[in-house]
Chains A and B, each alone.
Chain A
């Protein structure tokens, strides 16, 4: 094993795949000459040259569509959005072309494309730069949505995403790029659509994904001191969702808390809640509690931002609530 940063995991995944398949290229704002806005493509221009690591203008709709078009014609593009906040400018190409082309042409075209970049909040960036659109993309049939939470998962899942024949939304975080973690020296991939039990426990199931899961780890440490044992499930893939992993855990713990960094209305947590009440209704000993951001655009003020964003204290409170210990 070796220890690398999350950004290195992303770069290694892309570079390894580009070495084995010449039809893959990387395109996005500042991915080449600048070495990536968050250095997730550092060194790649030097290795692969400007034909395969391509700087784009600030034209998300155009280059998203160009990516899809090239995927229809034999390429396997990786399209980087500087953040998924900017993917909104290009979302028509993702929803109307990438996600639908296969179905509306009766499967004549695969669209093997990865759209990747950071999601969610990253400090005091204000309303337009702090959004999490996992549930928006996961709402769309034809797309797969992956949100890793550590370097190991990021590398293995990104390699699978690049090899996948369908469009994949791959969401990272500005605040995770510096996170360190162990990855094997040898090559590996992680199957898309499989959740991972990050911590086994018996009293409460906590489901989360992406960087916010770290708040669940902190909460679980704290709760352990009070003899409350939390099982933490990292979804890793939001769509297709690993319902079985969640249901199995809930059948064991009989209690569920969902932690997610996005607005509450129609969120990933809402979907999980529906699935669990349908498939494990009789196993629940308490109402499900979901923790989301506040139902407002993200604020700038540090005081307000702290109030807006879920934290480990919210998780502790939620766990105690489902255990009737509040």
Chain B
């Protein structure tokens, strides 16, 4: 039976588990980073989980997803195996890019997950292009592109929105506004700080939503996805959120006040959603405990796969650069 927010116990459990998995997976990743098991840059999504969860639950498996370099959560929500992601971050052959991508470049074509795009805003034109191809090839799906408010200051944001609107392609632009472009506050980077005001300049319907509240996000996402699907035209959804952790593992966070972080942590979307589910009797305490146990097993399984993984043979270095069956 569904409640007024269209939730039944099965979906409620799935969503809570998903957010908890994102959180625990990244907490484990941070720990493994300090142990030097994971190297390179590592950008954590902790605090923003409701956004990826709320949007992706509204999609069909055949819809396309493109995300930024802060994309572990999106990959998990899309169903990319946690072990395969962990193995990729270890740089192992069992990883989704066989150790060629790392944390910032996760790809899984089978799951319609198109990165892992590590140049800020570089994937917005890709998303418009993918949606254009879907339209041309008469594919019945939409493309969803996640990006930060920092990307909205790039020229590519404006070019991608203008052409998505001009050419009427089915793409949902999801701005994850976490208030900081790396370590620079929104007020220092945008003349107009309400990112949702930038969509209408290109004839694109836009809306802002509380990015810390899964229920509100789901409602906004369902509407936005439905609109893109039925109209075949773009939509901009701005999710106002906050990352609790540093920009990357190398960031001392001197640009923001600890009290600000603490204030936002009080709005943590995960306890909020759990509390709601308990209140609505959509989940029991016993079930929550069971979920957490299952979660620990899942994380351990992921780490075990990565640990037991093998290194790509060095003879494989030149592989995948060019197509293996060149046509002429």
The 8 Å CB contact of B320, one of A65, A66, A107, A164, is: A107
Question: Which A residues are CB-close (under 8 A) to B9?
Answer: none
Does B132 count as interface, using CB distance less than 8 angstroms? yes
Contacts of B315 in A (CB 8 A): none
CB distance from B207 to the nearest CB of A (A): 24
| Contact with A23, one of B126, B137, B156, B160 (Cβ below 8 angstroms) | B137
CA distance in complex: A192, B328 (Å): 7
Chain B, 58-102, contact with A by CB distance < 8 Å: what is the 0/1 string?
000000100000000000000000000000000000001110110
How far is the CB of A199 from the nearest CB of chain B, in Å?
A: 25
Give A140 Cβ to nearest chain B Cβ, in Å.
Answer: 10
Min Cβ gap B59→A in Å is: 16
Least CB distance from B314 to A in Å reads: 15
Q: Which residues of chain A from 146 to 184 have a CB within 8 Å of any chain B CB?
A: 160, 163-166
Q: For residue A240, which residue of chain B has the nearest CB?
A: B322
Cβ–Cβ contact B159 & A61, under 8 A: yes
- Shortest CB-to-CB span from A154 to chain B, Å, is 16
Contact of B125 with A105 in the complex, beta carbons under 8 Å: no
0/1 interface trace, chain B 310-328, chain A, CB 8 Å (1 if under): 0000000001111111111
Expressed in whole angstroms, the minimum distance between the Cβ of B321 and any Cβ of chain A is: 5
CB distance from A78 to the nearest CB of B (A): 14
A61 touches B125 (CB 8 A): yes
Asked if A266 is an interface residue, CB under 8 A from chain B, the answer is no
Q: Cβ of B327 and Cβ of A106 under 8 Å apart?
A: no
Contact A72 B126 (CB under 8 A): yes
B136 interfacial by beta-carbon distance below 8 Å: yes
Give every chain B residue within 8 A of A126 (Cβ-Cβ): none
Given contacts A65-B122, A66-B132, A73-B64, is CB(A108)–CB(B328) below 8 Å? no
- Count class of interface residues, chain B: 35 or more
Q: Are B326 and A166 in contact (CB under 8 A)?
A: yes
Q: Are A73 and B130 within 8 A (Cβ)?
A: yes
Q: Does B125 contact A64, Cβ atoms closer than 8 Å? A: yes
Question: What CA separation (Å) do A71 and B167 show in the bound complex?
Answer: 17
Asked if A74 and B125 sit within 8 Å, CB to CB, the answer is no
Q: Are B126 and A56 in contact (CB under 8 A)?
A: no
Category for how many chain A residues contact B: 35 or more
Q: How far is the CA of A65 from the CA of B122 in the complex (A)?
A: 7
In the complex, whether B162 has a CB less than 8 A from a CB of chain A is yes
Which residues of B have CB within 8 Å of A72? 114, 126, 129-130, 133
Most interface-central of A54, A69, A103, A109 (chain B CB within 10 A):
A69
Within 8 A of B (CB), among A38-89: 51, 54, 56-57, 59, 61-75
Q: How far is the CB of A281 from chain B (nearest CB, A)?
A: 26
A3 to B319, CA, bound (A): 42
Most buried by B among A54, A102, A191: A102
Highest count of chain A CB atoms <10 Å: which of B96, B123, B325, B326: B326
Residue from B133, B321, B326 within 8 A of A165 (CB atoms): B326
Q: Report the separation of the CA atoms of residues A163 and B98 in the bound assembly, to the nearest whole angstrom.
A: 28
Per-position binary interface string of chain A over residues 131-155, scored 1 when its CB falls under 8 Å from any chain B CB and 0 otherwise = 0000000000110100000000000
Q: In the complex the two chains form, is A74's CB within 8 Å of B137's CB?
A: yes
**In the assembled complex, which residues on chain A have CB atoms less than 8 Å from the CB atom of B122?**
65, 92-93, 96-97
Say yes or no for A303: interface residue by CB 8 A criterion: no
Find residues 111-136 in chain B having any chain A CB closer than 8 Å to their own CB.
Answer: 114-115, 117, 119, 122-134, 136
Question: B159, A59: Cβ atoms under 8 Å?
Answer: yes
Bound Cα distance A163, B325 (Å): 11
Cα A75 to Cα B130 with chains together (Å): 9
Question: Residues 101-114 of chain B: 1 if any A CB is under 8 Å from the residue's CB, otherwise 0?
Answer: 10001011100001
Contact for A142 among B97, B115, B127, B321, CB less than 8 A = B321
B163 on interface, CB distance cutoff 8 Å:
yes
A105 near B159: Cβ-Cβ < 8 Å: no
Is there contact, CB below 8 Å, between B129 and A61? no
Task: Say yes or no: A166-B323 contact (C-beta < 8 A), given A65-B160, A70-B136.
Answer: yes
Question: Which residues in B have their C-beta under 8 angstroms from that of A51?
Answer: 136
Q: Is B40 positioned at the interface, with any CB of A under 8 Å from its CB?
A: no
With A70-B136, A72-B126 known as contacts, the answer to whether A108 contacts B163 (CB < 8 A) is no
Q: Shortest Cβ distance from A229 into chain B, in angstroms?
A: 32
A5 at the binding interface (Cβ < 8 Å): no
Contact B323 A104 (CB under 8 A): no
User: Whole-angstrom distance from the CB of A181 to the nearest CB of chain B?
Assistant: 21
The residues of B that contact A105 with a CB separation of less than 8 Å are 97, 100-101, 105, 107, 109, 115, 320
With A59-B162, A92-B122, A102-B321 as known contacts, state yes or no: A65 contacts B129, CB within 8 Å: yes
Q: Min CB distance, B69 to chain A, in Å?
A: 12
A110 contacts the other chain (CB 8 A): yes
* Residues of A near any B CB (own CB < 8 A): 23, 25, 51, 54, 56-57, 59, 61-75, 92-93, 96-97, 102-110, 141-142, 144, 160, 163-166, 189, 191-192
9 contacts between A and B (CB under 8 A): A75-B137, A96-B119, A104-B97, A104-B100, A105-B109, A106-B96, A142-B321, A160-B327, A164-B323
9 further interface pairs, Cβ-Cβ under 8 Å (given A65-B128, A69-B130): A62-B128, A67-B129, A69-B126, A69-B127, A74-B137, A102-B323, A105-B100, A164-B323, A166-B323
For the complex of A and B, list the 5 residue pairs with the smallest distance between their C-beta atoms, beginning with the closest.
A69-B129, A65-B125, A62-B159, A69-B126, A73-B133
Interface residues of B (CB under 8 A from A): 64, 96-98, 100-101, 105, 107-109, 114-115, 117, 119, 122-134, 136-137, 139, 155-156, 159-160, 162-163, 166-167, 319-328
